[in-house]
Amino acid sequence: MSVLTRTADSSPDVPRAVLRRWRLAGLFGLIAALALATFAVIQISAQSQTRQPTGVLRATRDILPGTAITADELAVTQVQPSDASLLGTWVASGDRDRILGQVAVVGVPAGHLIPAEIVAPKITAGLWKANVPIKRSPADLKAGDHVALLVQGPATEFVFMQDVQVLSVGSGAVDLWLPAKLAPQVEWYADHGGIILFQMQPGAVQQGIPGVGGG
Protein backbone atom coordinates (compact mmCIF):
# COMPACT_ATOMS: atom_id res chain seq x y z
CA MET A 1 0.00 0.00 0.00
CA SER A 2 1.38 3.33 -1.00
CA VAL A 3 0.64 6.71 0.50
CA LEU A 4 0.38 9.71 -1.83
CA THR A 5 1.58 13.02 -0.38
CA ARG A 6 0.12 16.23 -1.87
CA THR A 7 1.94 19.50 -1.42
CA ALA A 8 0.07 22.85 -1.29
CA ASP A 9 0.11 25.01 -4.42
CA SER A 10 2.60 27.87 -4.18
CA SER A 11 2.61 31.10 -6.23
CA PRO A 12 5.47 31.57 -8.60
CA ASP A 13 8.21 33.90 -7.43
CA VAL A 14 7.94 37.54 -8.65
CA PRO A 15 10.99 38.45 -10.76
CA ARG A 16 13.37 40.89 -9.08
CA ALA A 17 13.24 43.29 -12.06
CA VAL A 18 9.47 43.65 -11.60
CA LEU A 19 9.86 44.36 -7.89
CA ARG A 20 12.51 46.98 -8.64
CA ARG A 21 10.19 48.74 -11.09
CA TRP A 22 7.41 48.74 -8.52
CA ARG A 23 9.69 50.25 -5.91
CA LEU A 24 10.85 52.96 -8.34
CA ALA A 25 7.26 53.74 -9.32
CA GLY A 26 6.28 54.08 -5.67
CA LEU A 27 9.28 56.35 -4.98
CA PHE A 28 8.47 58.61 -7.94
CA GLY A 29 4.84 58.77 -6.83
CA LEU A 30 5.90 59.82 -3.34
CA ILE A 31 8.20 62.53 -4.75
CA ALA A 32 5.42 63.86 -6.99
CA ALA A 33 2.98 63.94 -4.07
CA LEU A 34 5.47 65.84 -1.91
CA ALA A 35 6.12 68.35 -4.74
CA LEU A 36 2.39 68.96 -5.19
CA ALA A 37 1.92 69.41 -1.45
CA THR A 38 4.82 71.91 -1.29
CA PHE A 39 3.40 73.87 -4.25
CA ALA A 40 -0.02 73.98 -2.61
CA VAL A 41 1.47 75.30 0.64
CA ILE A 42 3.37 78.03 -1.23
CA GLN A 43 0.25 79.07 -3.15
CA ILE A 44 -1.87 79.22 -0.01
CA SER A 45 0.81 81.24 1.79
CA ALA A 46 1.11 83.72 -1.12
CA GLN A 47 -2.66 84.14 -1.30
CA SER A 48 -2.93 84.70 2.44
CA GLN A 49 -0.20 87.35 2.28
CA THR A 50 -1.99 89.08 -0.61
CA ARG A 51 -5.22 89.12 1.35
CA GLN A 52 -3.57 90.69 4.39
CA PRO A 53 -4.50 94.38 4.82
CA THR A 54 -1.81 96.84 3.73
CA GLY A 55 -1.41 100.42 4.92
CA VAL A 56 -1.73 103.15 2.27
CA LEU A 57 -2.31 106.90 2.45
CA ARG A 58 -5.60 108.70 1.90
CA ALA A 59 -6.48 112.38 1.77
CA THR A 60 -8.20 113.78 4.86
CA ARG A 61 -9.20 116.87 2.86
CA ASP A 62 -8.96 118.07 -0.74
CA ILE A 63 -5.38 118.24 -1.98
CA LEU A 64 -5.11 120.83 -4.72
CA PRO A 65 -2.53 120.62 -7.51
CA GLY A 66 0.26 123.14 -7.19
CA THR A 67 0.11 123.15 -3.37
CA ALA A 68 2.58 121.65 -0.91
CA ILE A 69 1.40 118.45 0.77
CA THR A 70 1.05 118.84 4.55
CA ALA A 71 0.91 116.27 7.35
CA ASP A 72 -2.69 117.05 8.27
CA GLU A 73 -3.79 116.18 4.74
CA LEU A 74 -2.61 112.58 5.05
CA ALA A 75 -3.96 109.63 6.99
CA VAL A 76 -3.23 105.90 6.93
CA THR A 77 -5.94 103.46 5.92
CA GLN A 78 -5.88 99.69 5.48
CA VAL A 79 -6.78 98.16 2.13
CA GLN A 80 -7.16 94.56 1.03
CA PRO A 81 -7.22 94.57 -2.79
CA SER A 82 -8.16 91.44 -4.70
CA ASP A 83 -5.35 92.25 -7.15
CA ALA A 84 -1.98 92.82 -5.44
CA SER A 85 -0.75 94.90 -8.40
CA LEU A 86 -3.15 97.67 -7.35
CA LEU A 87 -0.95 98.42 -4.35
CA GLY A 88 1.63 99.94 -6.70
CA THR A 89 -0.86 102.59 -7.82
CA TRP A 90 -1.15 104.12 -4.33
CA VAL A 91 1.33 105.67 -1.92
CA ALA A 92 2.26 103.21 0.83
CA SER A 93 2.08 104.41 4.42
CA GLY A 94 5.86 103.98 4.68
CA ASP A 95 6.37 106.61 1.94
CA ARG A 96 4.61 109.35 3.90
CA ASP A 97 7.79 111.32 4.65
CA ARG A 98 8.82 111.14 1.00
CA ILE A 99 5.85 113.18 -0.22
CA LEU A 100 5.51 115.54 2.75
CA GLY A 101 6.33 119.09 1.66
CA GLN A 102 6.39 118.12 -2.03
CA VAL A 103 4.20 119.99 -4.50
CA ALA A 104 1.19 117.98 -5.68
CA VAL A 105 0.91 117.74 -9.46
CA VAL A 106 -2.53 116.09 -9.39
CA GLY A 107 -5.57 116.82 -7.25
CA VAL A 108 -6.93 114.31 -4.74
CA PRO A 109 -10.46 114.72 -3.28
CA ALA A 110 -10.95 114.22 0.44
CA GLY A 111 -11.37 110.55 1.38
CA HIS A 112 -9.66 109.23 -1.75
CA LEU A 113 -6.48 107.17 -1.73
CA ILE A 114 -3.29 109.04 -2.62
CA PRO A 115 -2.12 108.04 -6.13
CA ALA A 116 1.51 107.12 -6.68
CA GLU A 117 1.94 110.01 -9.14
CA ILE A 118 0.85 112.66 -6.60
CA VAL A 119 4.28 114.36 -6.85
CA ALA A 120 6.60 114.92 -9.76
CA PRO A 121 8.88 111.94 -10.41
CA LYS A 122 11.74 114.22 -11.43
CA ILE A 123 14.11 115.54 -8.81
CA THR A 124 13.25 119.17 -8.12
CA ALA A 125 16.52 120.08 -6.41
CA GLY A 126 17.90 123.17 -8.15
CA LEU A 127 14.50 124.16 -9.52
CA TRP A 128 12.54 127.23 -8.51
CA LYS A 129 8.78 127.65 -8.47
CA ALA A 130 8.01 130.71 -10.60
CA ASN A 131 4.73 132.44 -11.37
CA VAL A 132 5.06 133.41 -15.02
CA PRO A 133 2.66 135.68 -16.95
CA ILE A 134 1.73 134.21 -20.31
CA LYS A 135 0.09 135.52 -23.45
CA ARG A 136 -1.53 132.29 -24.64
CA SER A 137 -1.77 128.66 -23.62
CA PRO A 138 -3.94 125.61 -24.48
CA ALA A 139 -7.44 125.85 -23.06
CA ASP A 140 -7.13 122.45 -21.35
CA LEU A 141 -3.74 123.13 -19.75
CA LYS A 142 -3.61 121.73 -16.21
CA ALA A 143 -1.23 120.99 -13.38
CA GLY A 144 1.15 118.17 -14.20
CA ASP A 145 1.33 118.95 -17.94
CA HIS A 146 4.66 119.59 -19.60
CA VAL A 147 5.07 122.58 -21.89
CA ALA A 148 7.46 124.34 -24.24
CA LEU A 149 8.00 128.08 -23.83
CA LEU A 150 7.84 130.12 -27.03
CA VAL A 151 9.25 133.62 -26.59
CA GLN A 152 7.53 136.29 -28.64
CA GLY A 153 9.75 139.33 -29.06
CA PRO A 154 9.40 142.53 -31.06
CA ALA A 155 11.07 141.05 -34.13
CA THR A 156 11.51 137.33 -33.49
CA GLU A 157 9.91 134.22 -32.07
CA PHE A 158 11.80 131.19 -30.82
CA VAL A 159 11.46 128.23 -28.48
CA PHE A 160 13.42 129.05 -25.34
CA MET A 161 12.68 126.02 -23.14
CA GLN A 162 11.09 122.60 -23.45
CA ASP A 163 9.78 119.92 -21.06
CA VAL A 164 8.86 122.39 -18.31
CA GLN A 165 6.41 121.09 -15.74
CA VAL A 166 3.26 123.04 -14.91
CA LEU A 167 2.45 123.22 -11.21
CA SER A 168 -0.78 125.20 -11.38
CA VAL A 169 -2.76 127.28 -13.87
CA GLY A 170 -4.24 130.67 -13.06
CA SER A 171 -5.80 133.52 -14.98
CA GLY A 172 -3.14 134.84 -17.35
CA ALA A 173 -0.29 133.15 -15.47
CA VAL A 174 1.06 129.71 -14.57
CA ASP A 175 3.34 128.31 -11.89
CA LEU A 176 6.31 126.50 -13.41
CA TRP A 177 9.33 124.58 -12.20
CA LEU A 178 12.28 126.50 -13.66
CA PRO A 179 16.04 125.96 -13.38
CA ALA A 180 17.30 128.63 -11.00
CA LYS A 181 19.82 129.96 -13.56
CA LEU A 182 17.13 130.49 -16.21
CA ALA A 183 14.35 131.90 -14.03
CA PRO A 184 15.50 135.57 -14.41
CA GLN A 185 15.67 135.19 -18.19
CA VAL A 186 12.14 133.78 -18.33
CA GLU A 187 10.89 136.72 -16.25
CA TRP A 188 12.62 139.14 -18.61
CA TYR A 189 11.04 137.50 -21.66
CA ALA A 190 7.62 137.60 -19.98
CA ASP A 191 8.01 141.38 -19.44
CA HIS A 192 9.47 142.12 -22.89
CA GLY A 193 7.23 140.65 -25.54
CA GLY A 194 5.59 137.68 -23.82
CA ILE A 195 5.57 133.91 -23.56
CA ILE A 196 3.30 131.39 -25.28
CA LEU A 197 2.94 127.84 -23.94
CA PHE A 198 2.59 124.67 -25.99
CA GLN A 199 1.70 121.32 -24.45
CA MET A 200 4.17 118.50 -25.12
CA GLN A 201 4.83 114.94 -24.02
CA PRO A 202 7.20 114.65 -21.03
CA GLY A 203 10.75 114.02 -22.20
CA ALA A 204 9.90 114.56 -25.89
CA VAL A 205 12.44 117.32 -26.44
CA GLN A 206 12.80 118.39 -30.09
CA GLN A 207 16.10 119.55 -31.54
CA GLY A 208 16.72 122.11 -34.27
CA ILE A 209 13.41 123.98 -34.05
CA PRO A 210 13.92 127.11 -36.15
CA GLY A 211 13.03 130.55 -34.88
CA VAL A 212 11.11 133.16 -36.84
CA GLY A 213 12.58 136.61 -37.36
CA GLY A 214 10.98 139.69 -38.85
CA GLY A 215 12.33 142.84 -40.31
> Would you kindly state where each structural domain of the chain is located, as residue ranges?
53-119, 127-206
User: From 3.40.50.2300, 2.60.200.30, 3.90.1210.10, 3.30.2130.10, which CATH number describes the 53-119 domain?
Assistant: 3.90.1210.10
Structure confidence at residue 144 (pLDDT):
85
By C-alpha distance, which of 199, 167, 162 is closest to 102? 167
Where the chain has pLDDT below 70, the residues are: 1-22, 24-30, 32-37, 39-41, 43-51, 83, 120-125, 211-215
Q: What are phi and psi of 191, to 5 degrees?
A: -85, -15
CA distances from 36 to 31, 33, 46 (A): 9, 5, 15
Minimal CA–CA distance to 210: which of 170, 146, 142, 156? 156
What does residue 21 show for φ and ψ, rounded to 5 degrees?
-65, -40
**C-alpha span between 209 and 200 (Å, rounded):** 14
| Cα–Cα distance for residue pair 120/167, rounded to 1 Å | 9
Is 74:60 a contact under the CB 8 Å cutoff?
yes
Q: What is the pLDDT of residue 148?
A: 92
89: which residues sit within 8 A by CB, 6+ positions away?
115, 116
Confidence at residue 120, expressed as pLDDT on a 0 to 100 scale: 66
